[in-house]
Amino acid sequence: MPELDLMYHIPNGGKRDIATAKRLKAEGVKAGVPDICLPVPRGVYHGLYIELKAGENKTTRKQNEWLEALDNNGYFTAVCYGWEEASKVITNYLKNGGSRENV
């Protein structure tokens, strides 16, 4: 799948010291932006955004706001628990035009 060459991670998360957090905010980092972006259109979608979670972690209010806004603007969005689930969502998105039936 050559489209995967366009997939990238958005490094918004993680614990940082205050000085680093302020610098990153000034550079445009925004809370809640999903972790992975695949800017490849499929079906009715402009691209794919995935929020990755581990264990029993839940999405934050900001993350939910971003996912909803992206969905409302024509992007396929998903919350995945682990790389295996993310892999299935990405494969389904690329092969089935973003159909949510096979996710």
Domain containing residue 71: CATH number: 3.40.1350.10
60 part of a folded domain:
yes
pLDDT at residue 102, rounded to an integer? 53
Residues 57-86: pLDDT tens digits? 999 999 999 999 999 999 999 999 999 999
Number of domains in the chain: 1
Classify residue 100 by its DSSP letter. Answer: G
103 part of a folded domain:
no
Pairing of strands 48-53, 36-38: antiparallel
Task: Give the residue numbers spanning the domain of 49.
Answer: 2-98
In the predicted structure, residue 103 carries a pLDDT above the cut 70: no
Residues 6-41: pLDDT tens digits? 999 987 766 778 887 788 788 888 889 999 999 999
pLDDT at residue 59, rounded to an integer? 95
pLDDT at residue 22, rounded to an integer? 81
41 part of a folded domain:
yes
**φ, ψ at 23 (rounded to 5°):** -65, -45
